[in-house]
Amino acid sequence: MTLALKPLHPLFVAEASGVDLAQPLGADAVRAIEAAMDRFAVLVFRDQPLDQDQQIAFARRFGTLDIGLRRATKGPHRFKYDELIDISNVAADGAIAARDSRRVASMVANQLWHSDSSFQSPSARYSMLSAVVLPSWGGETEYADLRAAYDALPERLKSDLAGLETEHYALHSRIMLGTTDWTEEEKNVLPPVRWPLVRTHPGSGRKLLFVGVHAREILGWTLPEGRLMLSDLLEHATQRAFVYRHDWRVGDLVMWDNRCTLHRGRRYDFAERRELRRTTTLDTPRTSEGSSSAAASAVA
């Protein structure tokens, strides 16, 4: 099979076809997908319904799987794999979750711009989200290109940001939204981590703004100045020119690179079921067959 790519946005994002994700991927297919990810950062695979086993097998071809925030929120889980992240408004017993539950609060937090697992080290590399059940309206997912956002900054601001570090914290968004019932043990499972505010994407070699809702302060700055700057940078990075909105269909799988994009879910009726399954890989060296990055020109 040959990976075919159709650009969906002037700056990033492509629809990918020609590969059956339900079947074991060979080394050439893995390299082609990685090269496409380096170039486009977000790949949309249409009509690729996967069961739990198939999604896990596909994701594992791209590295070690991550459970992210589930480290701090472990409890009943309705999937057979811990590494399958439940992006839904459905409780562990299969019923629609109560409006005031942590489950729904988490879905509200997902509507803030973020990068998966930026609150830990190593952070996330790829995320793969599979659509299983969709509501009658809303629930789209938006993606922002942090490389293009950096490129568009004024030169003086680029100079001001060089060398700065930010602190990312797992529960910053949840606490900001008013969920205060976290135990001290839960708060400390994932302690804050530091990341450069300006990073270089290893796949494309391009600089990017590593911002998002998990970033809560700029180290060495006063808290008010740092949070205002982070707010301004997030506003800049998520302006419409840098954003793609994905309208889901059941059976879609969208794969994105957390190292150079932000994403957020959009509003829907929490009285309707919305079920998506996410797998995420850690940004760590990989040695398995076919998992080394290839040049983006390989799929040009």
Which of 104, 223, 207 lies closest to 161, judged by CA? 207
Q: Which band of pLDDT confidence, cut at 50, 70 and 90, is reported for residue 179?
A: confident
Those residues with Cβ within 8 angstroms of residue 212's Cβ, 6 or more apart along the chain or in another chain: 113, 114, 115, 118, 168, 234, 262
Those residues with Cβ within 8 angstroms of residue 44's Cβ, 6 or more apart along the chain or in another chain: 8, 13, 14, 15, 16, 246, 252, 254
CA distances from 260 to 18, 116, 290 (A): 25, 11, 22
* The predicted structure's pLDDT at residue 293: 38
Distance between first and last Cα of the chain: 16
Q: How is the chain split into domains, by residue range?
A: 4-285
pLDDT above 80: residue 209: yes
Those residues with Cβ within 8 angstroms of residue 253's Cβ, 6 or more apart along the chain or in another chain: 21, 45, 48, 50, 55, 128, 129, 130, 131
pLDDT above 60: residue 291: no
Which amino acid makes up residue 193? Answer: V
pLDDT above 80: residue 297: no
pLDDT above 60: residue 292: no
* The predicted structure's pLDDT at residue 280: 97
Compute the average pLDDT of residues 195-204: 96
Give the predicted TM-score (pTM) of the model. Answer: 0.92
CATH H-level, domain 4-285: superfamily: Clavaminate synthase-like (3.60.130.10)
The torsion angles phi and psi of 16, rounded to 5 degrees, stand at -110, 135
Which amino acid makes up residue 108? Answer: V
Percent of the chain's residues with pLDDT above 90: 80
* The predicted structure's pLDDT at residue 138: 98
42-46, 118-122, 245-249: least confidently modelled range: 118-122
3-state secondary structure the chain: CCCEEEECCCCCCEEEECCCCCCCCCHHHHHHHHHHHHHHCEEEECCCCCCHHHHHHHHHCCCCECCHHHHCCCCCCCCCCCCCEEEECECCCCCECCCCCHHHHHHHHCCCCECCCCCCCCCEEEEEEEEEECCCCCCCEEEEEHHHHHHCCCHHHHHHHCCCEEEECCCHHHHHCCCCCCCHHHHHHCCCEEEECEEECCCCCCEEECCCCCEEEECCCCHHHHHHHHHHHHHHHCCHHHEEEECCCCCCEEEEECCCEEEEECCCCCCCCCEEEEEEEECCCCCCCCCCCCCHHHHC
